[in-house]
Amino acid sequence: MGECLEKFSQKLEVILEAQGEVIETTQKSVKLKLQSFVKEDVRRFKDVRKEFERGSESLEAALGRNAQAPRGKQHEVEEASHALLNARKTFRSGALDYVLQVRSSKLDESVFWGRTKLVLNSAREKRDMEQRHAAIKKKVNTDVSYDNSLMDFCADAPNGIAMEGYLYKRASNAFKTWSRRWFSIQKNQLVYQKKFKQPTVVMEDLRLCTVKVCADNERRFCFEVVSPSKSCQLQADSERQQQGWISAVQNSIASAFQERREDPHSPRERCSSVSGSPGGGVFGDQEKTGGREALDQVQGIPGNKQCCDCGEPGPDWASINLGITLCIVCSGIHRSLGVHFSKVRSLTLDSWEPELVRLMCELGNTAINRIYEARIDEITIKKPHPSSPRGDKESWIRSKFVEKKFIQKLPETGRNIPLRPVGSRPPLKPKPNRATLPRLPEEDLSGLHPGALLYRSAALQHFPVMADALAHGADVNWVNTVEESSTPLIQAVTANSLAACEFLLQNGANVNTADSNGRGPLHHATILGHTGLVCLFLKRGADYNARDHTQKDPITIAVETANADIVTLLRIAKMNKEMREMDGAFGQPGDETYQDIFRDFSHMASNNPEKLKRRSTDFKT
């Protein structure tokens, strides 16, 4: 303790000595400055002031003598005038020196205070800068996701580039390598550029694209931009960049659609959209139902002339798996939900397959809203209107279709639905009139599983009930083990319902799921001679080489049943696939003959199904 006190006293003595030296030096410096100021500056100022006062007194005396000079004595008048002139010159010279000295003193004072202010401001700015620098440094050290390289989305940028920055791009070759490229969103296109090379367009038209997060990828911060013909996986440097790019792509899509809508005289493009059917299929682009024709047919369904979600009149967008029409704003929100919830397509810009138009005419906004808004009177959430903010519409749509807050309990929505007894097969005849369908007691529905409800309604071609079952979580590939492991899609085939099959496929039904006999939907359609369904399944990628437990594939069955149309379709599909495999990765989807044949069969299946009932035996002589 004593040693510590001794050291403390020594340090204190050193501090006091240093303080004394500082005080002494400061006093000397201040004393010298004050003495110099008093002896030189103040004395010089006093001397100038005395000169000014003497000149002022001399001028007053000269003015007095000049005033007293008599009129009759010309000699005295001239002397007084000369004396006044000299006194005035002396006064003016002294006054200028005095004013100059005063202004010099004021200037020195002003410069002193100005410099002091500059020093203080500079010190304040330096302190603020140091604080900001320390805060930024701390944020960088503590937040690894900090990134200032991300630009904000700007649709009206002067250079046409809405957003740009570095991203990692996954190659489409067999090695699946990742390369860092400079990406930009410009002119409704997604473009990337290598060093010193011309830009490469990744997505030519973002209006046909969707963007989603790649949650199943091992690499972090990945997202995928999907178009009807290809997809592109990208990786950002941080989660903030990932969300920024996803929002930028979505905003660019919405901006492009808005520009399109604001320019009614722009030519309508004939372009394909994502069909959303599993398996992709072997069917290439072909001539389909025109946009205006599809718009007129779909809007003719009750409730379809207003947006399903906000009620805006004249909707020209549709969700093909839900069977509803949408306005431009709500369609953008539906697109952001992902294709597993809603598959958006334009009624005017996109081409429409006839079976898809037929499906849209089986549902409609009125039927779907009875399901998804069944409890709208019991909730406090207010349904948006056309002028509601986008945020309100998005909240409503997510609550309605994602969270399904407004649907009724299944026994309530399924009440009085016609059901077929378990074990019986549906009749092979055209769709029955719903008004004449038998009604079973309510207790038969009390324990019905949503999958079973979908299964029964698919056989009866009751589309609102099918949509209701899917809304309640029915598995679209539900298997009925009691009836040879049949599925809803096979039931729709047995009922010869083209629209029901299309509805199930749009909602994710597997076109190759087989029953306990090893027969898939294509087998059943071939056995029953449903040529239109065979055409549909081949377009959706059905496996025509699949064999059942008797080792028969669809072609063998079609030959045995002597159905020339189905044999033709199966063989042409097989030949087309072989041609594509021979052409390699750059092969075309199919030649014109293949496309023409499938197009004709699709139109006949939707518009003139009776023409497809003919068999090869009808042409025998």
Radius of gyration of the chain (CA): 45
> What pLDDT sits at residue 413?
42
Locate the domains of the chain by residue range: 23-110, 161-262, 291-402, 423-430+448-619
- Decide if pLDDT at 310 tops 80: yes
Distance of CA 447 to the CA centre of its chain: 42
101 or 233, which is more confident:
233
DSSP secondary-structure letter at 377? G
In 417-477, alpha helices (H): 450-460, 463-471
pLDDT band at 119 (very low <50, low <70, confident <90, very high): confident
- Decide if pLDDT at 6 tops 90: no
> What pLDDT sits at residue 434?
36
Average pLDDT, the chain: 78
In 69-185, alpha helices (H): 74-142
pLDDT in tens, 261-298: 555 444 334 333 333 333 344 333 334 444 567 778 88
Q: What percent of the residues of the chain are helix, what percent strand, and what percent coil, each to the nearest 5?
A: 55, 10, 35
User: Got the DSSP string for 270-316?
Assistant: -B------TT--S------B-HHHHHHHHHTSTTTTB-TTT--BS--
Half-sphere exposure of 590 (CA within 13 A, CB side): 21
Please give the biggest Cα pair distance in the chain. 162
> What pLDDT sits at residue 554?
92
- Decide if pLDDT at 125 tops 90: no
φ, ψ of residue 514 to 5 degrees: the values are -100, 160
Nearest Cα neighbor of 181 from 218, 256, 217, 233 is 233
CATH architecture entry for 423-430+448-619: Alpha Horseshoe (1.25)
Half-sphere exposure of 125 (CA within 13 A, CB side): 6
pLDDT band at 18 (very low <50, low <70, confident <90, very high): confident
Fold of 291-402: Annexin V; domain 1 (1.10.220)
> What pLDDT sits at residue 292?
67
**Long-range contacts, 319-322 (Cβ 8 Å, 24+):** 319/343, 319/344, 319/345, 320/276, 320/344, 320/345, 320/356, 320/359, 320/360, 320/506, 321/276, 321/503, 321/506, 321/507, 322/363, 322/368, 322/401, 322/467
> What pLDDT sits at residue 514?
92
Average pLDDT over every residue of 403-417: 65
- Decide if pLDDT at 152 tops 70: no
pLDDT in tens, 564-579: 888 888 888 888 787 7
pLDDT in tens, 340-396: 899 998 888 777 888 888 899 999 999 999 999 988 887 777 889 998 888 899 999
CATH: 2.70.70.10, 2.40.50.100, 2.60.40.1220, 2.30.29.30. Which one for 161-262?
Answer: 2.30.29.30
474 or 419, which is more confident:
474
In the sheet where 317-319 sits, what is the strand order? 324-326, 317-319, 344-346
**Long-range contacts, 470-477 (Cβ 8 Å, 24+):** 470/507, 471/371, 471/372, 471/404, 471/407, 472/407, 472/410, 472/413, 474/449, 474/450, 475/450, 475/451, 476/504, 476/507, 476/508, 476/509, 477/508, 477/509, 477/510, 477/513
Single pTM value for the model:
0.52
pLDDT in tens, 592-615: 666 667 777 776 766 666 666 654
> What pLDDT sits at residue 575?
83
How far is 445 from 518, CA to CA, in rounded Å? 30
